[in-house]
Amino acid sequence: MQDVMAEMVHSTAVHALVTGATGGIGRGICFALIAQALRDGLAIHISAAASQPGERLDALLHDLRAAGASAHGVSGDITDAAHCAALVAQAQAQGGDLTALVCNAGASGPGRLADLPVAQWDRTFNLNTRSAWLLAQAAYPALARTRGSITAIASMSGLTPHPGYGAYSAAKAALVMLCRQLAQEWAADGIRVNTVCPGMVRTPLTEAVYQDEATLQQRQALVPLGRIGQAEDIGAAVAYLSSAAASYVTGQNLLVDGGISDHMLGMIPGRPGKPPVGQTEAA
């Protein structure tokens, strides 16, 4: 065990494959990984994965290099098994053995289970759950050699039912269990597997919602910490779980939601020790 710890602590380089890297949370994760590596005195290579090449990916790579990392882009459809294997192969060819796989790519979409199209159900699971398994399979040999880590981005919607998003909630719940299962099966190989469940996060994708001041205030009021999350909050959680500081952490889910998930019961009118609604305390 001491030899394993020494190997992790004295590793001189990090190579992280991050899917969904050009999105708000994906960018936050990439920069947090760079900051963590620099603090640890490690060189870092980022394999930034997107669904397709283009200006957004090129701009991200420029910014990652400016921040102190070496970086290259890979692209493909992570709902396709062959593409998942190719993404990992491309990353390995450019940056050597992976030390960290971050499965961030995913998408939600409204739909009631009573009339949800089967095709939407399948795509939701393929994108949010199946892809993580396929990428993990492809990365397994390298991660076993480096005793690396996998971190998948789930959602608070995977821990609590989200009416109107039945396929998404079910897929993210399955992702959490998939990672717990992988953590148990691959622990003997030194591979750690964890998930991060974001709450409400302000990103370019959600920014339109927060441009309405009333909606912003209402949402902030629901969060015990009093603010909407930022991509950097999620990135910091991933950077920790991918680092040597979390070398004894596996099979865990880190809920990063400002306390909102545990606050639901606090929103029920009539607090303990207070008079019922419509009554006043006796003088």
Give me the active site residues, please.
168
Give the span between the Cα atoms of 177 and 187, in whole angstroms: 15
Q: Give the angle 202-204-208 at the CA atoms, nearest 5°.
A: 80
Concatenated DSSP letters for 193-254?
EEEEEE-SEE-TTTHHHHTSHHHHHHHHHHSTTSS-EEHHHHHHHHHHHHSGGGTT--S-EE
Cα angle 234, 239, 244 (rounded to 5 degrees) comes to: 150
Nearest to 148 by CA among 195, 75, 97: 97
- What single DSSP character describes residue 102? E
Separation between Cα atoms, residue 277 and residue 147, nearest integer Å:
57
Cα angle for residues 112, 113, 118 (degrees, 5° grid): 110
CA 65 – CA 273 distance, rounded (Å):
57
Q: What share of the chain is helix, strand, coil (3-state, %, to 5)?
A: 50, 15, 35
Name the 3-class secondary structure at 43: strand
